A and B are shown apart, each in its own frame.
Chain A
Amino acid sequence: MKLNELTIKEASQKMAKGEITSAELTKACLARIKEIDKKIKACLTVCEKEASKEAKEADKRRSRGEKGDLLGIPYIAKDNILTKGVKTTAASKILENYIAPFDATIIKKLKEAGAILLAKSNLDEFAHGASTENSAFGPTHNPWDLTRVPGGSSGGSAAAVAADMCLFALGTDTGGSIRCPASFCGVVGLKPTYGRASRFGLIAMTSSTDVPGPITKTIEDAAIVLEAIAGHDKNDATTPDMEVPVYGKFLEKNLKGLKIGRPEEYFGQGLEKGVKEAVEKAIVKLEELGAKIIPIKLPYAKYGIPVYYIITPSEISSNLARFDGVKYGLSSKEAKDLKEIYTKSRGKGFGPEAKRRIMLGTYVLSAGYYDAYYLQAQKVRTKIKEELDFELEKLDAIITPTQPSPAFRIGEQSDDPLKMYLEDIFVTGASLAGLPAVSIPCGFSSGLPVGMQLIGKRFDEGMLFRIGNAYEKATEWDGKKPET
């Protein structure tokens, strides 16, 4: 087995035994990026020199007796997460040459744990999308079929993990942006509870649902990464001062007596046959493992997308107002006055989807429409949240498909924004309610990966790891690799 194909756990055990070094591991990942990324285009910036230097430093730390599962582990970060001294573009022309003066809190924490930043990965511009086609620098290709999208918006991160360019990657999830690409690329993607991991240093999209999280090869690895990045941050007032559990202890438990809800609305019309079969089989497997499957109803779930596409553009129109051509980023040279600096820099710098969302948000927040759209959406959001909370009170988790179908072809629906928004049908609920949710590989449909989604109670990521790990150990989907 090649070193870049190892999981975090396997690699750290080998490093602890002295069988391999971080320098070798990092070299293997960089070589894999060189070999394959011409075809996949997951990386926007590769930090070869810095990574090689940091790997040697990690080896020194280990030789001095330091321990830790992430010490010397190479990873890739989505390019909307600030990294000091390394370009952060958000896959936008408006930030094409932006270099952040500081690290995001989660990057800082990973640095302290000794993880090695290999590269910054592609995304839909400012994380607006479900396919990574909205990147100003071109789409990423799915390692399972290069003519298809990797999902989005963390498409580069998921494709990089699926193609073994790194041992894990960081993504951000606002309305499915970790779970969707994880499902399309056949890897594990965890959206933690809102506030579980700090947003400080993330390029803000929808501040009321944004959350960073891991994309990994196994559930165990996701638990390792979450433990490292989670916790209170004085720079993010929405991170509660709660202890971060030792997530490893959840992995040993079996599923006997657990109750998992199956919402009928998530298994009806519009669900592709192969996806449905794979998720139904997974449900049978969970029953065999001792869990009890409880049929539930979530009648407000169908309003998730309309609510999301009011709240999200609203917050985007506000958050993206900071890109004004004055302080940093693209600045129009043709502007004659201050207003033209704004209009021309933004008109030139933002891509089509960012512009659409800014305008939609501006419209629904504008005088006369606020009550009808934004306020009504926030009220329906309450209904969606209450309904999920009510069901989860009696349950340990909820199971659904992650996406209604497997990865679609590049270009297939990029001209129809509304059709693209409908991709988010199963993932927006957990985002609007701030609940943790994970996508786990559970089979294939016509040779393309299928993911199932587990939604848990707020701050109960441990339960998702417990169910996910038991399922993963009882099946072999996590060992399947694309041929590219």
Chain B
Amino acid sequence: MKLTKEEIKHIADLARLELTDDELKKYGSQLSAVLNYINQLKEVDTTDIEPTAQVTGLENALREDVKEDWDKREGQEAFRQAPELESGQIKVKRVL
């Protein structure tokens, strides 16, 4: 199985990654090699087997749906990490 350059480009776009031509080429062959390796899973018979996502058997950890205020200074520190602020809000480029 070999991924084409177009396929790699499409995956990178879905993943929102801008890649150089060199990267596209390199990752193309590396990902193909990994996919060939993981393809061996197809030989396992998994008829009637349930998938596992949670291993300790915990189910539905519930809590009261109440609002908790965030420590004001911690909140400010979090905002300080943003690249651009305006009137106390994080600024982004226009969407439309």
A interface, CB within 8 angstroms of B: 84, 98-99, 101-102, 193-195, 208, 234, 237-238, 240, 300, 303, 305-307, 309-310, 317, 321, 324-329, 331, 335-344, 346-348, 350, 352, 355-356, 358-360, 362-363, 366, 372-373, 375-383, 385, 417-418, 421, 432-434, 458
- Check A362 against B14 for contact (C-beta < 8 Å): yes
Residues of B in contact (CB 8 Å), total 52
A328 near B82 with CB under 8 A, answer yes
Point out the residues of chain A lying under 8 angstroms from B87, CB to CB.
none
Residue in A closest to B81 when the chains form the complex, CB atoms: A328
Interchain CB contact under 8 A, A385 and B81: no
Query: Which B residues fall within an 8 A CB radius of A?
Result: 3, 8, 11-19, 23, 26-27, 30-31, 33-35, 37-42, 44, 46, 49-56, 58, 61, 63, 71, 74-75, 77-78, 81-84, 90, 92-95
Please pick, from B30, B31, B40, B52, the residue contacting A381 in the complex, using a CB distance under 8 A. Answer: B52
Q: How far is the CA of A202 from the CA of B39 in the complex (A)?
A: 31
- From known contacts A101-B77, A303-B44, infer whether A343 and B18 are also in contact, taking CB-CB under 8 Å: yes
Of all chain B residues, the one with the shortest Cβ separation from A376 is B41
Taking CB atoms, residues of chain B closer than 8 Å to A385 are 52, 55
Complex: chain B residue closest to A458, CB-CB:
B56
Whether A378 contacts B52 in the complex (CB less than 8 A), given A343-B17, A355-B19, comes out as yes
- List the A side residues contacting B74 at CB < 8 Å: 84, 101-102
| Known pairs A240-B58, A327-B81, A329-B81; A343 contacts B16 (CB<8 A) | yes
Query: A350: which B residues are within 8 A, CB to CB?
Result: 17
- Given the interface pairs A194-B56, A347-B18, the reply to whether A359 lies near B8 with Cβ below 8 Å is yes
Of all chain A residues, which has the CB nearest B71?
A102
Q: Which residues of A contact B63 (CB under 8 A)?
A: 234
Q: Bound complex: CA of A303 vs CA of B53, how far in Å? A: 16
Q: Which residues of A contact B90 (CB under 8 A)?
A: 326-327
- Specify which chain B residues have a CB less than 8 angstroms from the CB of A376 in the assembled complex: 41-42, 44, 46
Least Cβ distance of A212 to chain B in Å? 16
15 additional contacts, CB 8 Å, given A101-B75, A310-B41, A366-B11?
A300-B44, A328-B81, A335-B93, A344-B18, A346-B16, A346-B17, A356-B31, A356-B34, A358-B15, A360-B34, A363-B31, A376-B41, A382-B46, A418-B34, A418-B37
**A341 to chain B: closest residue by CB:** B93
A288 to B40, CA, bound (A): 41
Contacts of B53 in A (CB 8 A): 208, 378
Within the assembled complex, what's the spacing in Å between the Cα atoms of A362 and B90?
Answer: 28
The reply to whether B17 and A306 contact each other, CB–CB distance below 8 Å, is no
Residues of B within 8 A of A372 (CB): 42
Contact at A326–B92, with CB atoms within 8 Å?
A: yes
Residues in B with CB closer than 8 Å to A356 are 27, 30-31, 34
Max chain B CB contacts within 10 Å: which of A363, A377, A417?
A363
Cβ A306 vs Cβ B56 within 8 A: no
Determine the distance from Cα of A373 to Cα of B8 in the docked complex, in whole angstroms: 17
